[in-house]
Structure 1
Amino acid sequence: MSAELAPESEAELAEMVRAAAAAGEALSIRGGGTRGIGGAVAGRPLSLARIAGITLYEPGALTLVARAGTPLAEVEAVLAAEGQRLAFEPWDGRVVFGVAGVPTVGGVAAVNASGPRRIEAGAARDSMIGVRFVDGSGAVVKNGGRVMKNVTGLDLVKLLAGSHGTLGILTEVAFKVLPAAAETATLVFDGHDLATAGRAMRAALATPYGVSGAAHADGRTLLRVEGFPASVAHRGAALATALARFGAARIEPGPGPWAAIRDAGTLAGREGALWRISVKPTDGPGVAASLAPAEVVLDWAGGLVWALAPEAIDVRARLGVPGHATLVRASAAAKARWGVFAPEPAPVAALSDGLRARFDPRGILNPGLMAARVGVAA
Structure 2
Amino acid sequence: MPDLAAPTETPKTAEAVCELVAEAGATGRTLEIVGGGTKRSIGAAPAADLVLSLAGLNKVVDYAPEELVLTAQPGVTLAALEKLVADHGQMLPFEPPHLGRLLGAKGRATLGGTLAANLSGPRRIRAGAARDHFLGLQAVTGRGELVKAGGRVVKNVTGYDLPKLIAGSWGTLAVMTEVTIKVLPAARTELTLMLFGLDDRRAGEAMTLALNAPVELSGAAHLPQAAAGRAPLKGEMAVTALRLEGFAASVAARAEHLVGALKGFGRLEQLDGGHSGDFWRQVREVEAFQKDPRPLWRISVPPASGWRVAEAAPGEALYDWGGGLVWLLSQADPRPAVRALGGHATLCRGEGPAFEPLDGALAALTARVKAAFDPKNVLNPGRMGG
Normalising by structure 2, report the TM-score.
Answer: 0.92
Deviation at 1:231, TM superposition (A): 2.2
Deviation at 1:272, TM superposition (A): 0.9
Partner of 2:324: 303
Partner of 1:353: 367
Partner of 1:225: 244
Picking from 40, 48, 64, the partner of 2:45 is: 40
Q: Is the 8 A contact 1:236 1:251 kept in 2?
A: no
Structure 2 CA distance for aligned equivalents of residues 305 and 354 of structure 1 = 31
Picking from 132, 151, 161, the partner of 1:145 is: 151
Matched, 1:324 2:330: no
Matched, 1:246 2:251: no
Task: For 1:168-183, list aligned pairs within 5 A.
Answer: 168-183=174-189
Deviation at 1:141, TM superposition (A): 0.9
Partner of 1:209: 215
Partner of 2:290: 268
- Judge which range, 252-261 or 17-26, deviates more: 252-261
Partner of 2:171: 165
Deviation at 1:103, TM superposition (A): 1.2
Partner of 2:233: none
Structure 1 CA distance for aligned equivalents of residues 364 and 95 of structure 2 = 32
Query: Displaced runs of 4+ in structure 1, greater than 3 A?
Result: none
Partner of 2:85: 79
Q: Is the 8 A contact 1:240 1:248 kept in 2?
A: no
CA displacement 1:232-274 (0-9 Å, x = unmatched):
2222222111111212211111214111111211111212110
Partner of 2:20: 16
Q: Is the 8 A contact 2:204 2:304 kept in 1?
A: yes
Structure 2 CA distance for aligned equivalents of residues 256 and 26 of structure 1 = 42
CA displacement 1:308-331 (0-9 Å, x = unmatched):
112xx121122222111000001x
What residue identity is the alignment partner of 1:239? L
Deviation at 1:227, TM superposition (A): 1.3
Structure 2 CA distance for aligned equivalents of residues 345 and 282 of structure 1 = 27
Picking from 86, 97, 100, the partner of 2:103 is: 97
Normalising by structure 1, report the TM-score.
Answer: 0.94
Q: Is the 8 A contact 1:186 1:256 kept in 2?
A: no
Partner of 1:278: 300
Instruction: Look up the SS of the partner of 1:22 in the other structure.
Output: helix
Q: What CA RMSD, in Å, does the superposition of the two structures yield over aligned residues?
A: 1.2
Deviation at 1:149, TM superposition (A): 1.8
Q: Is the 8 A contact 1:276 1:325 kept in 2?
A: yes
Gap regions ≥5 residues in structure 1: 372-377
Structure 1 CA distance for aligned equivalents of residues 270 and 42 of structure 2 = 36
Matched, 1:31 2:51: no
CA displacement 1:61-109 (0-9 Å, x = unmatched):
1100001111112211111111001100001121211223111111111
Instruction: Look up the SS of the partner of 1:173 in the other structure.
Output: strand
- CA distance 1:256–1:186, shift in 2 (3 Å): farther
What residue identity is the alignment partner of 2:346? T
- CA distance 1:327–1:10, shift in 2 (3 Å): same
CA displacement 1:179-215 (0-9 Å, x = unmatched):
0012211110001111111110010011111110001
Structure 1 CA distance for aligned equivalents of residues 151 and 336 of structure 2 = 42
CA displacement 1:96-149 (0-9 Å, x = unmatched):
112231111111110011011000000000011101110001001111001222
Partner of 2:354: 340
Structure 2 CA distance for aligned equivalents of residues 252 and 117 of structure 1 = 17
Matched, 1:289 2:302: no
Deviation at 1:153, TM superposition (A): 1.4
- Judge which range, 278-287 or 229-238, deviates more: 229-238
Structure 2 CA distance for aligned equivalents of residues 2 and 33 of structure 1 = 14
What residue identity is the alignment partner of 2:18? A
Structure 1 CA distance for aligned equivalents of residues 143 and 91 of structure 2 = 35
Structure 1 CA distance for aligned equivalents of residues 220 and 6 of structure 2 = 46
- Judge which range, 94-103 or 176-185, deviates more: 94-103
Partner of 1:374: none
Instruction: Look up the SS of the partner of 2:93 in the other structure.
Output: coil
- Judge which range, 38-47 or 136-145, deviates more: 38-47
What residue identity is the alignment partner of 1:363? N
Deviation at 1:2, TM superposition (A): 5.2
Q: Is the 8 A contact 2:187 2:246 kept in 1?
A: yes
Partner of 2:234: none
Partner of 1:119: 125
